With several copies, the nearest count.
Chain A
Amino acid sequence: MAESKSTRELTMSRAMVSAIAHEMREDSEVFYMGEDVADYGGIFDSTQGLREEFGYDRVMDVPISETAYLGAAVGAAQVGMRPIAELMFVDFFGVAMDQIYNQMAKNTYMSGGNVSVPMVLTAAVGGTYNDAAQHSQTLYGTFAHVPGLKVVVPSTAYDAKGLMHNAIRDDDPVLYMFHKRLMGIGWMPAPEGPKTPVPETEYTIPFGSADVKRAGDDVTIVTLGLHVHRALEAAETLADEGMSAEVIDLRSLVPLDTDTIVESVEKTGSLVVVDEDYRSFGVTGEIVATVADESLGALESVERVAVPDVPIPYSRPLEDEVIPSTKDIVSAVQRTQ
């Protein structure tokens, strides 16, 4: 079977790494920088095996100086290299945000397009494993709000590879946010969905193309990252109750695929937005408002399911309470009907 030769099941981390390795082989200007990315292979397996293949020069451990090394990536990108820089946890952005949003994101515009910043910033996001307020955030809204960054969030191995190829080849700065729980790390069991067949060949998934992960007629569930899988699970439960839910995986927040969302809501009339980020002034508000902007009449009911504006608490019952569960999604959908 030709099929089985050209694809194999991969974890999301392996799929990411395979895209990075491919690009590094093709283009000597691509290199990877971060903390514990060389010998350790990335705390979340994001660089497993890369140092072995490419050496310390192209898979560089750096001092714990996020401002210096993310800014250095900007500088290297501006002279034409294609750095990938990793922020170990997105929660650490605050020590380096100036370089991210005042240079990486703005230099293209401020230069009238005369300068480009072809770099990828990777960052681990997400909770569900009791790592508390400084290590569990997604911060999708924070970054999508800043003009000048493309913001990408894969939910499967297949998407992770195609989006990573695209991110590295893109001449614009890309923030690639991978959810720890999806990576398939030995010590953090992933749910069923993210491990998928992945073609061995290279392929790109363009940004701004949301993916209908499940088609349905009664309600539109818009989500991303880990919650794609929780939404799919919810859709299964709902199907048993005779409700047909469409699940849209945004895959990128910037650019945002408004069309796919609006078309779906025009079909179903009901919108449920599910997000692991803080509820207010973030993703759920934007998606609801986008649909209201584009097609207010189609909107018969709306629900937002997100973290209720509290820092992520440590203890299991508390974290479970604030991070949207499959049950929360089911209930929200039921409220719309």
Chain B
Amino acid sequence: MPLVSEQTMEEMFENMVTARHYEERLQEEYLEGKQPAFDISAGPIPGELHLAAGHEAAAAGVVQHLRDDDVVTATHRPHHVAIAKGVDLERMTAEIFGRETGLGKGKGGHMHLFDPDVNFACSGIIAEGCPPAVGAGLAAKKRNTDSVAVSFLGEGAIDQGAFLESLNFAAVFDLPVVFVIEDNDWAISMPKERVTDVENGSKRADGFEMPGVRVDCDDAIEIAEVAGEAIGRARDRNGPTLMEVQVHRRMGHFMGDPETYRPEADQEAAADRDSIERLEADLRDAGVTDDRIEEIRTAAHDRVEEAIEWAKEQPQPEADAAHEDVFVNPMNGVTDSEPDFEAIGGDD
């Protein structure tokens, strides 16, 4: 029996085509609003937008092993991971469009998506999600559950203290955490060879007594196999793993990135290696019919279109809402149970 079942392959494929189409549509909406001249604050999706086209296999392959109670922290490039984790697509889209019914009521935006129902979060600072993922693993251990936590990061994040400290913390307490490096070769304009001497990110594990593994291509099936082992080990309380996956950045770092620093050959190579096409071929090899593949694609497209349509119909937040939600309990709200008692200046 193959490690990755046909059903899993289909699910991964569905996640990946959903993510790809989703981001193509976001890109359209984003850029449409930036006409005639690119103005980052214009249009229906303002601000920065980091798309993950070329990373989908990493998300699909890893996350399909997770349950809703497992925690995932993703990066500034979060959509593919969110989709694989089952984040509410409509509310996520509404958030990206800055609407009132978005996951964060329009306060977070695309780098700050929180869906507590499926324990998903992401953030905009490099390696910032590593410590909270470790904390989720710590909570699982303390509560004696078999939940696990997965922290995604880019290959550019392997030089950041938050990641490195987290490796040690997870290792020494044997926490159920898997770190997944999405290696797309670039950190904005900086190629990985220029910022570290290690052959690849999984080597960082060597300095922390942690297993480190790397998947050298964005083959969803291989990723799923390797991730299955790592996550299984975490679930069985055998400690953390550092895992790296080679992915590809098919676009600029963010929308609007001129990529003048990037050799054309590299851009072309990234375009050529498409993990979705590869998985589609694998599906066919496994006997999945054209019709079934088309059915998955169509369903994914429809789902994306519906989410975007729904989101665009949602109301903008009221300006006054900006003042809410700093605290869940602004004036503290805990009933004052202070006894009638004067410790200083009293007469007792």
A102 and B331 alpha carbons, distance in the complex (Å): 22
Residues of A within 8 A of B104 (CB): 110-112, 114, 314
Q: Collect the chain A residues with CB atoms within 8 Å of residue B136's CB.
A: 75-76, 78-79
**Interface residues of B toward A: which range?**
35 or more
Pair B318/A255 contact, Cβ less than 8 Å = no
CA distance A285 to B288 in the complex (A): 67
Stretch at the interface among A59-67, A219-227, A262-270, A296-304: A59-67
Closest to B196 in A: A63
Instruction: Tell me which residues across on chain A come within 8 A of B131, comparing CB atoms.
Output: 67-72, 74-75, 99
Q: Is the CB of B47 within 8 A of A61?
A: no
Contact string against A for B residues 302-332, beta-carbon threshold 8 Å, 1 for contact and 0 otherwise: 0000000000000011111111111111111
Inter-subunit contact A157/B316 (CB<8 Å): no
B327 touches A75 (CB 8 A): no
Whether a CB of chain A sits under 8 angstroms from the CB of B125 is: yes
B184 interface contact, C-beta 8 A: no
Distance in angstroms from A73 CB to nearest chain B CB is: 6
User: Is A282 part of the binding interface, using a Cβ–Cβ cutoff of 8 Å?
Assistant: no
Tell me, in angstroms, the Cα distance from A129 to B254 when the chains sit together.
Answer: 15
Contact digits for B120-147, partner A, Cβ 8 Å, 1 yes 0 no: 0101111110111111111100110000
**B8 at the binding interface (Cβ < 8 Å):** no
A102 to B129, CA, bound (A): 11
A198 close to chain B: CB less than 8 A: yes
- Interface positions, chain A 44-99, Cβ under 8 Å from B, are 57-58, 61-81, 83, 91-92, 94-95, 98-99
Stretch at the interface among B106-114, B223-231, B242-250, B271-279: B106-114
B168 at the A interface (CB under 8 A): yes
Cβ of A130 and Cβ of B46 under 8 Å apart?
A: yes
Shortest CB–CB separation between residue A187 and chain B, in angstroms?
Answer: 5
- A68–B108 CB distance below 8 A: no
Q: Which of A164-172, A237-245, A286-294, A329-337 contacts B (4 or more CB under 8 A)?
A: A164-172
Contact B71 A68 (CB under 8 A): no
The answer to whether residues A314 and B132 also contact, given A57-B142, A129-B46, A134-B125 and a CB cut-off of 8 A, is no
Contact size range, A: 35 or more
Which residue of A7, A113, A130 contacts B105 across the interface (Cβ within 8 Å)? Answer: A113
- Between B39, B149, B317, the greatest number of chain A beta carbons within 10 A of the residue's beta carbon is seen for B317
B128 & A98 in contact (Cβ 8 Å cutoff):
yes
Which chain B residues have a beta carbon within 8 Å of chain A's beta carbons? Answer: 37-41, 46-48, 71, 73, 98-99, 102-109, 111-112, 114-116, 119, 121, 123-128, 130-139, 142-143, 149, 156-157, 159-162, 165-166, 168-169, 172, 187-190, 194-196, 256, 260-261, 316-332, 334-339, 341, 343-345, 348
Residue ranges of A at the interface with B (Cβ–Cβ < 8 Å)? 3, 7, 31, 35-36, 38-40, 43, 57-58, 61-81, 83, 91-92, 94-95, 98-99, 102-103, 107-116, 128-135, 147-148, 150, 156-159, 162, 166, 169-172, 186-189, 193, 196-199, 201-209, 213-214, 232, 255, 308-311, 313-322
With A40-B261, A134-B111, A201-B339 given, can you name 11 additional A-B contacts, CB distance below 8 Å?
A: A61-B194, A65-B166, A68-B159, A68-B165, A71-B128, A72-B132, A99-B131, A108-B328, A110-B108, A187-B39, A187-B40
Residue pairs across A and B with Cβ atoms less than 8 A apart, 19 shown, are A38-B189, A63-B159, A63-B190, A67-B131, A71-B166, A75-B134, A91-B125, A94-B125, A95-B161, A102-B123, A102-B128, A132-B107, A132-B124, A134-B125, A172-B332, A187-B39, A203-B337, A203-B338, A204-B334
